[in-house]
């Protein structure tokens, strides 16, 4: 059987840490050339690029914010000139801060919402337009169970991730007209920098809530993501799939 993503060209936002880095490596192992952006760490970007290339695939790394609309348009053009149009896009980059709503500052609210919501427009649109011209493509959005369940996470984070669900469902209907699928994974708590920003009381209770009895490991989500953005996943569209270790609801 051929590799899941053989011949594909993927872009992963926030590709140097946690789930993003895991997806870059798994996608490369499954046959895709992988481009990604990152915010600050050149060393981590070089490390992820080496892992992609170790699987015999091409890597491109861009130090550009996901909220930089002009920067993202430039990235899309550069990747197309180098490789051809992107046919797999993962909106993964996100931030969180352990705030109580009553004491959340304007700055914190704007930072989380700008990064997690406005980036959906900045990152998706230039690649989506390429997919429309190609009449094919897969878009995957990484949201959170915090957008679905009443968990003791930050209100700005839950709000931003709920917006991603609406984005996924509405865009999926429009995109289907062009042979493009749009789905999302609602992730539970994973062993990532972002996961560790959650309130300590939530992390302490987590192992009792989930049937797996532990937090998730980034490669576990990346393996499932690779299938979701593959052509073998041919009839799912507009879905939000929960991957959280079997939490009690």
Residues 9-25: pLDDT tens digits?
Answer: 999 999 999 999 999 99
Instruction: State the catalytic residues.
Output: 157
Q: How confident is the model at residue 1 (pLDDT cuts 50, 70, 90)?
A: low
Helix (H, G, I), strand (E, B) or coil at 239: coil
Return the C-alpha torsion angle 136, 140, 20, 51, nearest 10. -30
Asked if the model's pLDDT at residue 210 lies above 90, the reply is no
User: Cα–Cα distance between 183 and 40 in angstroms, integer?
Assistant: 28
* Among candidate residues 136, 141, 133, 148, the one with its CA nearest the CA of residue 164: 141
User: Cα–Cα distance between 174 and 169 in angstroms, integer?
Assistant: 9
Helix (H, G, I), strand (E, B) or coil at 95: coil
The mean pLDDT value for 50-54 works out to 98
The mean pLDDT value for 89-106 works out to 94
Alpha-carbon distances of 62 from 8, 46, 48, 76, 245, rounded to whole Å: 19, 11, 12, 11, 33
* Contact criterion met (CB below 8 Å) for 195 and 215: yes
Tell me what pLDDT residue 152 has: 73
Among 79-93, 204-218, 222-236, which stretch is predicted with the lowest mean pLDDT?
Answer: 204-218
Domains and CATH numbers, the chain: 9-243 (3.40.50.720)
Model confidence over 143-194: pLDDT tens digits? 999 899 887 788 999 999 999 999 999 999 999 999 999 999 999 888 887 6
């Amino acid at each position: 059987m051929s590799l899941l993503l053989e011949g594909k060209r993927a872009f992963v936002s926030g590709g140097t840490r946690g789930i993003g880095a895991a997806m870059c490596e798994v996608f490369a192992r499954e046959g895709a050339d992988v481009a990604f952006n990152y915010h600050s760490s050149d060393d981590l970007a070089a490390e992820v690029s080496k892992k992609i290339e170790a699987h015999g695939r091409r890597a491109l790394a861009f130090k550009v914010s996901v909220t930089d609309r002009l920067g993202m348009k430039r990235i899309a053009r550069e990747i197309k000139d180098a490789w051809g149009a992107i046919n797999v896009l993962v909106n993964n980059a996100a931030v969180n801060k352990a705030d109580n709503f009553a004491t959340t500052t304007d700055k914190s609210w704007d930072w989380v919402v700008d990064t997690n919501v406005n980036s959906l427009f900045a990152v998706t649109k230039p690649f989506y337009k390429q997919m429309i011209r190609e009449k094919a493509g897969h878009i995957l959005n990484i949201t959170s169970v915090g957008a679905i369940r009443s968990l003791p996470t930050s209100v700005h984070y839950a709000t931003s991730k709920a917006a991603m669900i609406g984005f996924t469902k509405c865009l999926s209907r429009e995109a289907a007209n062009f042979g493009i699928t749009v789905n999302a994974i609602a992730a539970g708590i994973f062993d990532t920098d972002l996961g560790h920003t959650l309130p300590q009381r939530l992390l302490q209770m987590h192992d009792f809530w989930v049937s797996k009895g532990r937090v998730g490991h980034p490669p576990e989500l990346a393996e499932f993501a690779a299938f979701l953005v593959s052509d073998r996943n041919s009839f799912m569209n507009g879905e939000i799939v929960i991957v959280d270790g079997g939490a009690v609801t």
